[in-house]
Each structure stands twice: as C-alpha cells, then as structure tokens.
Structure 1
Amino acid sequence: MKRRFSVRMKVGAVVLVGMLILSGLIFYASYRSVSRLLDQVTSQRIEASLTSGYELLDKQFRGMWIEHGDTDLMKGFIVVNDQLVSDIGDAVDAVVAVYRGEALSVSGFDAGADGADLGVTTLPDDVVSAIYDQGQEVYVQNIVIAGEPYKAAYQPIKNSRGDVIGVWSVAASQAAVRQGLNGALAQIGWISGIGLVLTIGALLLALQRMVIAPVIFLVRRIEAMAAGDFSVDLNYKFGNDEIGALGSLMVRLRDDVGAIVGRVAEAAKGLYDSSYQLSETMQQTESAIEDEANLASQFAITVEAMDKNTDQMATASAEISRMAAEGDASIVGAVEQTNALRDIIEGLADSVEGLGTRSKEIGRIVDVIRDIASQTDLLALNAAIEAARAGEYGRGFAVVADEVRQLAEQSADAAKDITQLVAEIQEETAEAVKSMNQGAAGAARSVEVVQESGVRMRKILEAVNGITAQIQEVSSGIGQIASGSQQMAATTEEQSASIREVALSAQKLTEMAQELEALVGRIKLA
C-alpha cells in the first residue's frame, strides 16, 4: 500500500529543502565574496611587497642591472645572490626570486638556488606573455610551490638601454590566508546552521498556525461532509487569505448543499407522490380511452346528422341574406323621408322666428303710439288750462281740447291692449320656435338612428354572407371529420397501448423516487 504523507510532513520537507538550498546559495555566495575580497587584499599586499623589496634593493645597491655570466645578474657592481634576495625577502615578509630571461637565476627558497625541487625553474607562460610580450609593469597571479598556494607578483628588470633582461618576483604563502578563510567559513557555517534551524522552526510554527492547522481543520470537515454529515461546525478563525477564502467557500458549500439536499428531499417526496398519482391517472386514462372508442362510433353518426343540418342551414342563411338586403333598402328610404321631414321642420322654425321678430317691431311701434298719446294728453291739458284763462273766448277751444284728451286716452288704452297681445304673441312664438327646434333635433336624431340601423343592417348582411360561406366550409369540413372519426378509433387503440407503457414507466418512477428519498435520508443536515 502506498504510504500517505500528511500536509505537515510535505510542508516541512519543502521548507527544509528550500532552506537548505537557500543556505547553500548563501554560503556559496559568502565564500565567493570572501574569497574575492581576500584575493584583492593579498594582491594589493603582494604588489606592495614587490615594490618595497625592489626599492630596498635599489637603495642598497645603486647602479644599473647588468647580465653577468650565463645565469647571473648584477646590480651596480654586486652580483645578486641567494643570500641577498633572502635578506630582502625577510624584510618584506615574502619569498624573492630573480629570473634572467625566462630561467630562474636566484631564489630565497631554502630548497636551493636551482629551484628544481620547487618546480619554479622557469617563468610560467602567462608571466612571459604579460612581461615580455605585452610589456606590463606589474603582473600578479596565484601559483603553487612545493604543494602550497602562493600569491606571486612580477615586474620587469631592465638594463640601461631599457631592454627587459629579467624578472623581479615576490611570492607570499596563502596557507595562513586559506586557514583564516576556512575559519571564517566555519564560523559562517555555524552561524548559518543555527540561523537555519531557528528560521526553519519559526517558519514551521508560522506555517502550522497559518496554513497547516486550517488545512487540517478543513480536511477533517470535508471528510465528514463527504461521509454525508453536513451538520459539521465550520467556526474557525481563518486569516484574510486564500485559506480563509476556502473556509468561507466551505461554509457556503455546506449551506448551499444543505439547502439543495433539503429541496431534493422535498422534490423526491413530491416526485413519489406525483408518480403514484400518475400511475393511478394512467389507469383511469386507460379506461377513459376505451370509453372514447365507443364515443368515436357515436360521433360518426352525429357527424352524418350534422352534414344534413348544414345543408338546411345553408338554405336558411340564403333566405336571411335576401331579407336583410330588402331591409337595407327600406332603411335607405326611411333615411331619405326623415331627412325631408327634418328640412320642413327647420323651415317652419325659421318662419316662426321671423314672426317673433315682426312682433317685436310691432311692440316698438306701440311704444311710440303710447308716447304720442301721453304727449297728446299733456297738450290737451295745457289747452284746457289756456282755454280757461281765455274765458268766454276759449270755450270752443276747451271743447276741442277735451275731445283731443279723450282720443289720447283711447289711444293709450288701445296701445296697452296691443302691447299685451304682442307679448302673448311673442311668448307663443318662442314656445313654437322651441318646439320646432326640438322637432328638428328629434328629426336629426331619427336620421342618425335610421342611419345606424342601416349600418347595422349592412353588417348583418355581411355577417349573414360570412355565415353562409362558413356554413359551406363547415359542410366541407364535416365530410373530413367523418373520415377522421374512423381514424380516431384506430388512434384510440394505439393510445391505449401507449397509456399502458406510461403506466409501467410511472411505476418504475415511483420505485426510483423511493430510492432517491432513501439516499437523501442518509445525509445529515443541521
């Protein structure tokens, strides 16, 4: 069986490997950095030793460099020997060597001037290239002498003409430097190891609290939910990160699945009830289909009777259409007569209104007569007064004035009677005009009613014509229904077979609903 590793072990392994790799990279970078720094320091130091040793020799022995014999060199009048370079080497704390051309001339090594045991009897090729070919004044490199690392510096030895006749070399052992470097690296290793252990512990503790513990919590809850228990408690103080978002999603998942399962349970129960009712309904439908087969034959007989009735309806609708056409013609004549009557009434109304206008003019004339009678009566009174003043001479004038006054009074009485008659005539004329206007309005309404009746009669005529056409279509359709009723019986038998299959499917659906209800019942909700 394949071994199962926990999240804690996997995370710890990843952290450990990552920290080891990181520590290795840091240690390597530190080693490289310290090595470069020490190399720079030793290079500067060996260059300083090279310069100071050469200056010391130049102060002690003035003069130019001269080739002497086959292998030696002279400085001024002194042949440079092993003891001389050893003393200068002690002074600058380094090993001094002098080369003539490319071969070793003298050396401060204890192994002997020939240098055979040291492996430095000739200049390295890169030194020859740098000093003789490229003309560099100082060249520094790492070399190995007697199995030990050395830092060596070289500068050319020139004669009076400026020709390079040899090389002045100073070398310093790197054993102490390497030892110091190894010690420093050991300290860095110890410090890095302790820091690594502490860092790994802190990371594991932080991961335990922020990642591993919440993940284990969620895994256990998911296992419970996978087993069907959706009542698990998901109350946990998650952080504001992806794991916290996962926890929130788990809460939503639990609630949503719980709600869905609840609805599925209700749906399963409803499905069971519906399937049971469907099964019973199919049984009832099967018996109803048999009844429909019996009704189909009766329907064919009824269709034949309907075919005969439609023929009679077609004849009756044609007669109704003819009568509707005659009624439409009568309505048109009635409209014309009503319009003529309305015109006559409107003419009478105009005449009566003219009579009322004339009576108003008579009234104005009577008012004038009344005014004249009043003035005449006043004049008769003035004449009587003047006749009385005249005495005997005015008696005849008084008689005439009295007659005139009586005529004025009679005229006033007559004007009063005429005024009363004119008022009565105006009142009756107004009533007559009002009656005429009402008659004209009634005639207009009669015209509208008759016209509406004509419109309705035309609609009736159109409807009757449409009904006639529809009856003809119905008559044609009934023939098709008669042939279709024969097919209905065959179709009814096919439906009966289909209903039996549906009833069987409904029974299976009931069994499936029971199984679904049992499965849903296994899920535990809060």
Structure 2
Amino acid sequence: MGGDIVVSILKDSHVSTWIAKLNRSGRRSKTGGSVHTKEGGKHNQQLIFRIWGSYLLILVFLLAVGGSGLYSTKKLEQSMEDMYAKRMQAVTEMMQLSSYYDKLNGTIAAAFFMNNTDLSSYITQIEDIRGKIDVKVQILMNKSEAYGMTAERASEFQTIWNGYSNDLFSVLDWMKKGTENFGSGTGAAIALETYRSSLLDKAGMLTAYLEETVENNQNLAQSSYENARSIQHNMFALQIGLTIAAILFSGLIGYFVSRSIVNPLNVVVQAASRIAEGNMQTRVEIKRKDELGRLADSFNRMTDSIRGMIEQVKEASDHVSDFSEDLQENTVQVKKAVVQIADMMEEVAAGAERQVIETQKSNRVIHDMLQSIERIRRSTDFVSESSQRASEDAAQGDLSVQKAIDQMKSIKESVENLAAVVKVLEGRSREVEKIVSTITEIAAQTNLLALNASIEAARAGEHGRGFAVVAEEVRKLAEQTGESARLITRLIGEIQSDTELAVNAMNRGTKEVETGMTLVNEAGEAFQKILAGVQQVAAQIIEVAEAAGNLLEGSDQVTDSLAEAEKITAETSSHTQSVAAATEEQLAYMEEVSGYATSLSEMAKRLKNLINRFEV
C-alpha cells in the first residue's frame, strides 16, 4: 500500500503536470478575497501618456499666461510707440515751430528799434528763422494727420503762412530803406505800418493754429496714455485670472492624476498585506490597461503561482504525513513479526538442547540396548516425533523469515519512495525560493525607480511635488513587497531545513533497512540449514527404526548413527542461537526504524502546520 501511495504522489507531482497546474491556476478566475477599484475603461491609456498629457495641459495654461503677457507687452509697446512716435514728436515739432514763430516775431519787433548799422544782422536772423519755419511748415503739410491736424486746416495754415511770409518780405524791404523818405513816410515807418496792418492779424491766426495743434496733440497724447493704462489694467487682470486658473487647473490635474495612481497602488499594498498575513485567495481587480493594470495582472499571476506551489507543497506534505503513518504501522507489524521469530528461535533452541540431551542419553543407553530393545524402540519413536516437530518448527521459522524478508523489501521500497517525495518537495521549495528572489529583485527595482522618480520630481520643483508623493508611495510599496518576500523566504528556509532533516532521516532509514534485509537474509539461510539438518535427523531416526530389529547385528552402525545425530543436533543448537542473536539485532533495528518513522511524522506535521499558515 505504501508503494502505491508513493507512485501516485510521483505521478501527481510530475514537473510537466505541475507547470500545467500553475498555468491553469494563473488563468482561472477566483472571487474570494478580491480587492477591487472603482476605475474603469477611462484609464485604459498608458500611465506615461496620462502623466505627459497632464503636463501638456499645464504647459498649455502656462503658454496661455505667457502669451497673454507677451500680447499685453506688445499692446503697451504699440501704445507707447504711438505716444512717442506720433504724439510726443508731433508736440515737440509743433512746440519747436511755435518757438521759431515766437522768435521770429520777437526778432521783427526788435528790428524796428535798431539803427541801420545793426539792422542788417537782425534782417539776416529774420530770414534764417523764416527759412526754418518754411521747413517745419513743409513737414507739417506732409505729416498733418500725424500732427493732429486735418488736411484742410494744414492747407489753411500754409496759406496764412505764405501770406505772412510774403508780407514779411515787404516789411523787410521797407526796413532796409530805413530813414529814407517816400512821401508817406520813411521806409522804417512804412515797414512798421505794414507790419501792423498785415502781419499782426496773420501772426495771431498762426499763433491760434499752433496753440490749437499743440492742444490737440496733448489731448491725443493723454488719450494714448489712458489707453495704455487701460490695456495695462486689463492685461494685469487677465494675467491674474489666467494664473489663478492655471494654479487651480494644475492642482485638479495633480489631484486626479495622483489619485488615479495612488488608489490602485493602495489596492496592491492592501493585497500584499493580506498575502503577508497568509490569505493567498486575495486578488487585485484593477480594470485598466495601463502599467498599473499590468502590475495588478502580474501581481495576480504571482499570487496564483505561489498559491499553486503552496497547494502542491501542502498536498505533498499530506502524502508525507500519510506515508509516515503507513511506515509506522508497517514498522509495528515488522516488530511483531521479529518478536514472533525470536520466540520461535527460543523454542527451536530449547528443542535443540533437548535433542542433545536425548542423544547423550542414547549414547548411555546404547551400552544397555541389548537388554532393552523395547525401550530403544520407544525412544526412537520419541525422537522421531521430536524431529517432526523440529522440522515443522523450522519450516514455520523459515516461512516467518521469508515474510520478514518480504516485509523488509516493502519497507525499503516505502522508504526510498518517501525519500524521492521529500526530494521533490525540496526541489519545489527551491523553486518557490527562486520566485520569491525574483519578487525581491522586482521590489528592489521598483524602489530604485521610485528613487529616480523622486529625484525627477525634485528637479521639477513645485510642479513635481505631487509626483514626489506618488514616488514615495511607490517606494513604500516596494519596501512592503520586499518585507513580504523576506518573510516568505524565511518560511521557505524553514521548510527547506525540515525537508533536509527528512532527507537525512530517510537516508539513514534506507541504510538501516538495507542492513536489516542483509541480516534477515542471513537468518533465512540459517533456517534453510536448520530445516535441512532436521530433515536429515528425521531420516536418520527412520533408519534407526528400521534397523531396530537388527540391533544385535548392527550395534556399531547404531553407535555411529547416534554420534552423527549428536553432532548434527549440536550444530543445529549453535545455528539456532546465532539466529536468535540476529533476531534480537533485527528487533533493535526495527526500534530505530520506528523512531525514524516517528521523527518523519513529526516533521511532516511541522511542515503541514507551516503550510496551513497560508489560506489557499
């Protein structure tokens, strides 16, 4: 029965079947202990795309804020350029023209009071100033609109100025004639009269035009200034609004993006904590197709793989426990058989001793056999019956030894099969250790990625603060995952240690069983010799009975036969004692095997208790 159990275990734990079970366990759907998230198909995008998308949206708002600032600056620049290029320059030109005109009138007025010696220099100044005014008037005509003057008003101004200039030539001509008398007065008097009658009115009109133009340009400059101030206020308000909107929008984006990352990670952390507590039925349900969704799928596959291996280990531990119980039962049966063999050996030894005694008696009686033929016949019958019993006892002992040999072979096969099962269990423990090592490496890489993410977030400054929080959460998750992996590694180490003890115990048990088989085989050979000897004694007794009628004629032959019978009986007694000693040694070996079986059962229970910590 023990051999059949081991064969079934080996068949169930074949490598290909085990891998197939792991694959099926990774694909099957389990609902017990699942951890869900409320996120659906809207998170099917790649996580990096959503992060970059949020950054791009924030960048768009920043570009909008910067663009509005540039637009405001451009508008202010245009307004300032309008104030300077148009209004300020126009006012400057008009003020300069007005200054030339005032200087011209002042110089003309002063020239009326000069004598002929100084008059020529004043006339030269007047002509020079008049030439400059002509240039300014021509500029005014070309840029009348820029100077805040309509084309009609500019034409009127030019007409008045041309009239003023022509009259000025007439006045200067009369001034040059000085005190020369022309009937109606001197040249100076006529010049003064002409100035009063012709130039004063035109001078007043020109002054009014200039003052009006200057005032218009001042008003336009004030309007440009107020427009620039209005643009500045509007752009400032727009900048404030866009900045506040950008801050709020960035905060919302950071909140939703961080929540979409942190929530699934919290789900994975909770699942890892449950697995660390031994609940292997925990599953992570994150219905997303991004990196977090793939992380959840990988986590579930990892959990399924570990659960499958734990189930295999649990199944193997159950088989080991059952097999150890069978081994204990078989050991008890073998001990009983050995005890029976020992009892039979004692009986055989007692019979052999009795044979020796009876043979010695026969030697003593041979001297007197001529007188008591009848006594010899009765003694021969007694010896024949004793030989028959000895033959039957020897045959029974040989049968018991054969059973013991068969039982020892069964024990050997059971121990070897159990050792194979324990080795398979050890191999699976090492495979679990490799998987846990892979988990530890993934946790270390995740921790390294979280550190890199924290560095990048620190470089990003204020905008990377939210991402730094996410990176910290990822780092904590990696540390918790690494701690869980170390816990599992410690448990696997304990399992491997117990498995190694079981392997060593099986090896010692196998060696002891081989030694026991050798001794049992030797006992079987001894029983064969005993049986042959007993049968030979029986044959001799028959010959003695047949020769009883010829005792008188064959006394020498009877003496020789009795001597041979004594020798055989002594040998039988010696072999029986050897078999008894070997049987006692075999009993001691059975005690050791029983102890090993008990240790194996205890180790199987410890292994089962360790596995039962995981709820699969």
TM-score tier by shorter-chain length is: 0.3 to 0.5
Bigger share in helix: 2
Q: Under a length normalisation based on structure 2, what TM-score does the superposition of the two structures give?
A: 0.29
Bigger share in strand: 1
Q: Under a length normalisation based on structure 1, what TM-score does the superposition of the two structures give?
A: 0.33
Larger Rg belongs to: 1
Which structure has more relative contact order (CA 8 Å, sep 6+)? It is 2
